[in-house]
Copies of this chain bind each other. A is one copy, B any other.
Amino acid sequence: MDFIPRDPNYKQKVSDSFQRQKFMEFIGAELLDVGPGYCEIQLPYQETLSQQHGFFHAGVIGSLADNAAGYAGFSLMKTDASVLTVEFKLNLLAPGKGEFLIAKAHVLKSGKTLTVCRSDVYVVNQGKEKLCAAAQVTLIQLANTQDN
Contact = CB atoms under 8 A, between A and B. Distances in A.
A145 to B, nearest CB: 9
Interface string A31-61: 0000000000000000111111100011110
For chain A, what secondary structure do more than half of its interface residues adopt (helix, strand, loop), or is it mixed?
mixed
A92 B69 CA distance: 15
Interface residues of A, number: 50
Which has the most chain B C-beta neighbours within 10 Å: A59, A91, A93? A59
Interface string A103-121: 0000011000110101000
A26 B48 contact: yes
Contact of A131 (B23, B60, B109, B113): B109
Contact of A87 (B49, B66, B89): B89
A109 B87 contact: no
A61 to B, nearest CB: 9
Interface in A95-148: 108-109, 113-114, 116, 118, 131, 134-136, 138, 140, 147-148
A100 to B, nearest CB: 15
A4 to B, nearest CB: 18
A17 interface: yes
Given A59-B59, A89-B136, A91-B136, 5 more contacts: A22-B49, A23-B57, A58-B63, A87-B138, A136-B136
